[in-house]
Structure formats: structure tokens, C-alpha cells
A and B are shown apart, each in its own frame.
Chain A
Amino acid sequence: MTTSSLRLLIADDSSEMRSLVREAIGHAFSDVVEARDGRDLMWLLLRSELTHGGDQLIVTDLCMPYYDGLDVLEAWRELYPDHPTILITAFPSADVRERAAKLKVTMLPKPFSTTSLRRAIREATDGRAG
């Protein structure tokens, strides 16, 4: 599937990391929004349900203030189980890997290259199309 119809939601507590993801892949999306912590991400997701019907790609870091990326995704997946989602983490413990696999989230280990980020997006969106 193409990403041009999707909104890109980037969640990371590092503004530099958000900028990097935006600059690397943002141009391929209809709109880009950023969340700086887990609470922000949850709020943006709930708002997007009203405006976009949740039609978006989520790229989120695991460790963030308030709620971690997986906690938010677990709650969100109950509403939209098929949305393409990428989880960035430098520290994938066995528990994290298990939870991510259950949610069918694409994992992207940190540090990642822009090439591997684009590949992960293809993987996540192709999975959705299939």
C-alpha cells in the first residue's frame, strides 16, 4: 500500500529523534504529527479517532515519560487491531519482544539507519495491506 494517504504519528521524548524521523520519511505521508511522551501519544490517538478514523502509521519509542509506547499501543490495539505500527527500542527484553509480537508490532532496534526505518515502514504497511 502507499503511505501518501496516511498520517504519520511520531512519538519520542527526544525532539532530535522526532525531527530525524520526520525528515527521513515525513515527505511520504499526508500529514505528520509529533508526541513528546506517552500521555501526548494517547491524547493524539484519541483525537485522531474522531478526525482520521485512526488511519495512520504510528512510529513510537518504547521508553517515554508517563506511559511507555507498548502500554499505549496495547490500549490502542483494542480499538484498531490492524493499524501499522513501528516500535523503536534499544533494549528489547524478552517481555517486550513477547508483548510486541502479540500486538503484531514491527520492531525497529535502536540505533537504526534511515534505510532500515524505510524498510520497517514498508514491512508494517505491507502487512496491513495483506
Chain B
Amino acid sequence: MAARASLIALLAMAIGFGDWVTGIELPFTILYLVPVALGVRLVGRRFGLAMAILATCWLSASLVHDGASTSSMAWNVSGATVIFLCAVWTTDRLSHYVEQERVMRRLAIDQLRHAERLNVLGTLSAGVAHELGTPLNVIAGCAELVSEESADDRVRRRMRTILDQVSKVSVIIRRLLDFGRRDGHPRARLDLAQVTLAAADMLESTARKRGSRIEVDVGEPVWLEGNAAELEQVMSNLILNAIQAMQHGKVSIRVGTTTRADQPLACVEVADEGCGVPAQNLPHIFDPFFTTKGVGEGTGLGLSVSYGIVRDHAGTIEVASELGHGSRFSVLLPLAS
């Protein structure tokens, strides 16, 4: 940064010296714009302003050296000052716009990469789940047949254990298929506010048991095309995660609309006052089997399934988290046309 500033200042000095030697030449006024614009773009607005002041000083010195009249000096210096300040302002605005675009592009690329990775994981999960389905079915079927044919209680009990375990694996497979599938269940016009309220009501007692409470802020109905059972599952997963992220606190839910890239969208925000998600874990929270919960508290499939359902509804889930202060999950979905 210092090297850049020195080079730009040297350029301004060289132009100023040329101006002083050659007298009043119009091209030099334009040449001064180069260090001014470069100063703003490469170093900063303040440095650009310093270059504008330096250029004005050099211009005044050249005019004095050339014996210009007072009125000519006043006219030239004030005119040049306005031009230099305009150059500072314009370059600063353009730089700001370019930076903004650059950040947006980087974010979009990151999101695309993340979505692509989850897509690959989804396909893999669905494939594995699909392939496991048949052998698992055969195991359960054979255990059932043995159980039916056997009069020995001990054999029947053991077969029951096999069936119970197969049933647990089947639930995991069902959820992996839910995460990996490419199309959803039948859809209808629904009010997202009612869906969210139903999920919040269902988990009210769970929150109370952990010394927490749920607050739902619902305004006007938010209409969209979707599957009510699936979206209720998404809301339940997010609310349950929020409850489990803290011991005593408040789960704040807001249902409404928002905009992204000038597009109006339905939005449900679920915020907790819990421990937050460490920055290094954020890119993995939607990965299947990723969990920070204790053994037996979760399979690590809840958020993956939620992501799969929201993606199938052409929506996204945004996450903002601050360690020690809590997390905010925002589900964004297209509004009904």
C-alpha cells in the first residue's frame, strides 16, 4: 500500500513539474486526473483527496510561474478544483460499486460450490440408501418368517431384536432418501404462517421442559405452493435445533416476506440464544451425519433433510451465527404466483 502511494505521489509530482516547466497547458489539467483517480482506487479516498489538493497546488504554482492574472488564476484554480473533486467522488463511487459486485460474486460462487457439494452428497446418499433397501428388506422379511414359523420364545425374541434394529436403520434410510431425492410430494397452496405455528405448538412443551420458551411473530398470511407436511418438518427441525442449542432462553420465530436480488420471497426466521455455530462448522451443518449434539441426541440428518425439502421447493436456507450469542436460520421460499 505504501509503495503504491509513493509511486502515485511521484507521478503527481512529475506531472506537476512538467506543468510548472511548460506553463499553462490544458492537457496537464487532464493528466492530473490520473494520480487522483489512481489514488482513490488503489489507496483510498483520503489519499485521492490529497492528490487532488497536490494537483491544485501544482496548477496554482504553474499559473504564478507563468504570470497569470488574478482573474485567470481564480477561474482556472476553481475550475480545476471542481474537476478534481468530481474525479475523486466518481472514482470513489465506482470503486465502491466494483467492490460490492466482487463480494457478491464471491458469495454467489461460494453458495454455488456449497450447493453443488450438497447435491453430490444427496445423490450419493440416495444411491447408498437405495442399494441398502433391498438387502435390509430381505433381512427383515426372513426374520419375520423365522419368527412366524418358530415356537421357541427365545428365537422369536431374537428375531424381534433383528426387526427392531432393521426398523431403526430403515428410518435413517428413509431420511437419506428424503435428503437425496429430486422431487417432492404433492403440493398445494398453503399459508406458511399456519405451518410454522403448527410446528411451534407441537414443540412448545419440549421447550418448556428445557426451561425455554417459543415466541412466534406472525403477521399477514404468507401464501406459497408447497407440501404442508414437509414444510412443517423443516420448521420442526429448525425449532428443535434452536431448543437443543440452549438451556434456558427464547426461540424467536418470525414469519413474513423479504427480498433477495429484488425478488419478493416468503421468509421464516428461527433464532435462538444458544451457543452459536463455530465458523469452521458452518459450511458443514447441512452435510448428512454432521452433528455437534451428544451421543443419542441426533443423527445429524435433520438439517440435511430440511435442506433437501427446501431445495425441492426452489428455496434456500441462510444461516447467521455468533459464537456464544446464538444462531439465526432463515428459510426463504418463492411466494405463490
Contact = CB atoms under 8 A, between A and B. Distances in A.
Interface footprint category on A: 10 to 19
Contacts of A90: 129-130, 133-134, 173, 177
A20 B166 CA distance: 16
Contacts of B181: 91, 93
B191 interface: no
A14 B185 contact: no
Given A94-B184, A95-B183, A110 B148 contact: no
Contacts of B140: 111, 113
Interface in B137-180: 137-138, 140-142, 144-145, 148, 166, 170, 173, 177
Given A91-B126, A91-B177, A111 B183 contact: no
A63 B126 CA distance: 14
Given A20-B142, A93-B182, A94-B183, A114 B133 contact: no
Contacts of A115: 144
Nearest to B170: A111
A69 to B, nearest CB: 14
A20 to B, nearest CB: 4
B136 interface: yes
A23 B136 CA distance: 17
Contact of A110 (B137, B183, B185): B137
A99 B173 CA distance: 24
Interface in A3-19: 12, 14, 16-17
Contacts of B166: 111
A27 B38 CA distance: 89
A3 B170 CA distance: 30
B133 A110 contact: yes
B186 interface: yes
Given A111-B133, A111-B166, A16 B186 contact: no
Contacts of B186: 94
Interface string A83-104: 0000000110111000000000
A99 to B, nearest CB: 13
A24 B145 contact: yes
A112 B137 contact: yes
A14 B148 contact: no
Interface string A2-44: 0000000000101011001001100000000000000000000
A49 B155 CA distance: 44
A111 B143 CA distance: 13
Given A111-B166, A113-B144, A20 B184 contact: no
Contacts of B27: none
Interface in B167-224: 170, 173, 177, 181-186
A17 B134 contact: yes
B230 to A, nearest CB: 12
Contacts of B144: 24, 113-115
A27 to B, nearest CB: 12
Contacts of A93: 181-183
B134 A110 contact: yes
A20 B177 contact: no
Contacts of B145: 20, 23-24, 114
Contacts of A20: 137-138, 141-142, 145
B27 to A, nearest CB: 70
Given A111-B136, A111-B137, A114-B141, 13 more contacts: A16-B135, A17-B137, A20-B137, A20-B142, A90-B177, A94-B183, A95-B183, A110-B134, A111-B140, A112-B137, A114-B145, A114-B148, A115-B144
Interface of A: 12, 14, 16-17, 20, 23-24, 63, 90-91, 93-95, 110-115
30 contacts: A14-B134, A14-B135, A14-B138, A17-B138, A20-B137, A20-B138, A20-B142, A20-B145, A24-B141, A24-B144, A24-B145, A63-B130, A90-B129, A90-B133, A90-B134, A91-B126, A91-B177, A93-B183, A94-B183, A94-B184, A94-B185, A111-B133, A111-B140, A111-B166, A112-B137, A113-B141, A114-B141, A114-B144, A114-B145, A114-B148
